[in-house]
Structure formats: structure tokens, C-alpha cells
Structure 1
């Protein structure tokens, strides 16, 4: 099979990339699974803007406007926003909505086709699939996740580090359907955090860890959160990349989404940065094909564009994460006490899950004692 562009990975980022290419471009989305949206590997909590990008109102399960933060000592801090901060979505339906956009823009989707190997020719790239078939494309785009096979084949570096996640859907309806719970602490989720998300007649409980066995920590969390007797409906896990990759382009190759490390380091969320970058990738791909220039130099227009839009926020988030990793449970408890004032809670309640560091200046003004945890980091954030 021949095409202009082969997009490896049929998740929302791969589909959104195809949806944002010129309709005249012959584009094919390769998905190794038999169905787009399977398996699910996401907590399903996204900002309203991401629902709009995915045109996925039908995927909404719940609206979230509050949170309860649980600190290691047992202290709780309650936050309540004045507007919807996030939606809980059915990820399968969200992914299918992104696929619908790609199909409406003329893309083909081939399910059940796993990419194995990339070979360069004089006219482009040859993609060898698991069933022995080959596909020839002028441009190959890797949207194939944190361990991007296409990125590896093209010689591109992987993300800096990873955290491992696990979550379970329970047959339990939470009384408060508009608030999520977040747990912090090295005994709960070392190197990251744990969560509980109300999903209508079900409740989603999960966590990510930088070290240790996720399932062992999940068992402990379920007991702590009072869900020992709740029926488990579904258990799923995944790996989240942390840190932008060094380069996201090569001759005739681009990578996007988790493959490029386009993930928020503080929360592990990848849909907003991934979809944002995917829109840019689609446009640059179309322009490059029209110009008949698929060189690394031309494709760097994509890299420059997404880093200009997302790079500063992702870099700040990465440095905040590094500061977080240096905090033991006592430090987390102290930070919780410093932030548990009416003024600081007000600042936190105005936060944006896609731009978490945007409130740093106001938060420091409301709780100046936080400066002790990372003075150089905070000073550098304010100077830019």
C-alpha cells in the first residue's frame, strides 16, 4: 500500500494529527489493536478545552469543580471552584470522536496492524507490519506512545523518565460527584500522587509511582479510601513518560504525543499538550508535502511551533516535579499547612489543570513560606 502519510498509532493524538492535515493528503492511520480506544490507559479527567478539541461532548460523564487534597499526616484541604474545572469522560468514546474527525477529513484507519520496522528509500519510508505486509509513505508520523517504535527506528531519543500507573473502576457511587480526591505521600504514591474520581455509578481509584510496585500501593490506597468491600469492575495500567525528548523530527519522520514526551510532568496528563502539538504536526506535514520537502530542516517548523507553544510550561512543570521529588512527607505536610488559608485556597481554586504553574506567582504571594522549598526554582519561574 502506498500513501503520503502513515500515522502509527490510532489514539486521540494520532487521529487528531490526521484530522488536521490537508484533505488532499492521502493519510493512513495504523492502529495495532482491533478497536480504537482499547485498551484504556487514562484517568479520564480532562479540561473543558480538551473536550472541545475532541468534539467529544457525548463522552462526558461528570463535571468537576472541586478537590480534596489528602496530605501524609491525614490533613485534608478542600478546594471549590466557581466553574467547571474538568470533565470526567469515557475515554473510549473520546478516542472514537477523534477518529471520526480523522475519517471525516479523508483518512483511512487500518486496525489490527502492528508496526515493526522502518526502512528508508530514495522516495520516502517503508513500514513493515507484523503480518509481513509493507506500506510505503513519503512521511511517517509516530503517535505510538511512550515507547515509540517508530521513534526508535528513526534514531530519535526517548523521553527522560517514566512513572507507572494503575487504576481500578469500582462499583460504587460517590456522594459528591463534583469533587476529586488527591493523596500525597511516599507511603501512598512515591514520586507522584494517587486519585479518586467520581464516575457516576462507578468510582475510579488509581495512582502513579516512580518506584516500587503499583499494584501493592493500589491495594493500600483502596483500604485507606474505604473501598475494600466494593466490587472491582475493571483494572488497567499504563506507563507515563515525563520530560520532553531532545528532537521530534528526522528526515521523513515526526513524532507526537507521548512519543515526544508531550505530557504535563506535574499531573501526567497528555491529551492537552498532545492534541495541541498534533494540530501543529498536521499543518506542517501538509505544508511539507506540498513543498515536496520532507527534510529534517523543514520538519523542524513543527518542533519550533510546539515548543514555542508548550515548551516553557512543560519545562517549568518538569522543574516543579523535581522540587516535589525532593520533598519528604514532613515537607509535604508543612506545604499543606502553609497553603491551607482562605487566600491560598482561593488561588488554588482558580488553577487550570492544563497550565498548573500559571498560578505560581499568586500562590507564593498568598503563601510566601513556600519559597523555602525551592527558592531558585521559584525565582527563575518569575523572571521569565
Structure 2
């Protein structure tokens, strides 16, 4: 009987990391350069800068007690905005809790995103023309939901996709594999995006899986897997646009791994990244800042300057201020409403409790 050489059998497929811009904003791979107009390039950067400002302001609002749950996004602007920029309005977004910026850019009013952070039911009341689900708190669950939505898109004969995000920690969940496997088996039009920021809260990626990359996990379910520099907005856009169009054409799902980094804590609920990340590591990733990289590229093309930066920053801050005015003018929730929102047909025993609260609230 022939012996099996397991050292050779256990070889991971080679995964290439795609990149367009280097850390200085210079084009290093012109073949992958996306076909975007100057106006679109500026719009993409504006969305990235908008996201950075939103992160900073949301952090302050949280510290002031004016917002509730918040998962920082600083450092992931290229991964989030670059991928979302490749999608169409009719595509269906299923975000995780760190993907609120994409949700807003896809059509959710900013004040509703803030209300969701505060736990207000109005934050989950979406416009009828918004193809999206509220941010998923259960890690990986959105992958199963995405498979179902994508199959529905296919059955309805639509040339669109369902797209979703998770972090590297989400790839350790069963739902991650189940969702991709189901979508792959039925060739459902789905784009699965893993934002690999290196940590599942405090657990390093290398302690989560023996796989050399997360993109190669696509092999097990028979779908394409690709890895991209997640600090490079143009590369993320180019890869996601190609994946989106390929999937929408009826070829089945795609898995994209973006190599990115979150500059802040996992959430503002007590996590301290200094306990598990070194300053030298953080310094190296700050050299790759996606916002700075994209700005340098635009400046080299004479498409952006300090005056535009200041004007846009001022506009974004005004948008946030206006949204918070609407949030703080929204009537507070009543306990009786929680009962009513929980049931379609309220049981008599529960209705009695709800009526008691209604009576107290009326006084």
C-alpha cells in the first residue's frame, strides 16, 4: 500500500492579494485600475472621509451618552466604502453591526442609524425602497440570511445580488459555512465579504483557524475566493465590482477577503485593544491608512485639495448635527409599546399587563 505524504497533501491553495494603490497612493497595478470617472473617484473618497468623520463623531456622541451601541469603523473605510460603491441600489444588503456606514450609503437615513444605536424601534423602520436588513448582532447569522435572500433574487429572475459582511471572527461560526454552502449549491447570486481586521475582539486570526488565508475557505464550498488589500479602496472596488457582476450574471456566489484593520476598539462597550495589540503593530497599520492613501492619489491627479477637504468635513458635520436633532426630537419609547411590538395577536394575559402600563403612562 502506498504511503500518503500528509506534509504535501496539507498544502493550501495559493491566494494572491490584489492591490491597485500602494501606501503612498501610487498606482502599482494599472491592469486592475477600475474604470471610474474623476467625479466617481472624488465621490468614493468623499464617502470614505464621511465614514471617518462619522466614526469620530459617533464616538464622541457615545461618550456623551447621546448614542448607545457603537462599533468603530476607523481604518476600514476602503473595505466598507470601496465594496459598497460597487453595488447597485437594487442589490440587497445584509450588514453586520460594524457595517452601518454601508447601510447609510445604501439608503438608510442617518437619523435612523442613530436611533438603532439607541435601541429605538423607529431605527428598524426602513424606507420601502431600501433593500436591506437591520445590522445583525448574532455573529455570522447574516450569511445564512444572505443565502436565502440571494435564492429569492434568483427565483424572481432579477439580475442583482445579495451581499453581506462579517469579520474574521465570523468565519469561525457554523452559519458562515452553511450560508456559503447553500448559496454555492444553488448558484445563488451572493457576494460574501470577510473584513479581516486581524482580531475577533481580542482573539488574533491565527488562533481562530489553521488556514493560511480566509479567502481559501471558499474552496470547500466550490465557489471562487479572492483576497484584496482592504486598505486600498480602488482595489476593493475593482474586485467587488467584478465579483458582483459575475455573480449577478448567474454564475453563483463569490467570497472576498479584505485585509484591513480597525484603529479603535472592537466596540465602545469596554474593549481595550492595548491589552492585546502592540503599539508597533498599530503604527505599521496607520502607515497604510486608507483615507490618507486615497487622498494622496486624488491630490496627485489634482482632484482634491485642503479647501475641498475642509468644506466637505464641514458639510458632513452639519449632516450629523441635523440627524441628531431629529433623533433627540423623537418621542421616547413606552413600555406598553414593547408589548405591542412583540406580538401580532397579543395574548389576553399580556394585554392585561400592557394595559396597566398604558394607564400609568397616561397619567
TM, length-normalised to structure 2: 0.27
Q: By percentage of residues, which structure has more strand? A: 1
Q: Which has the higher contact order (CA 8 A, sep 6+)?
A: 2
TM, length-normalised to structure 1: 0.26
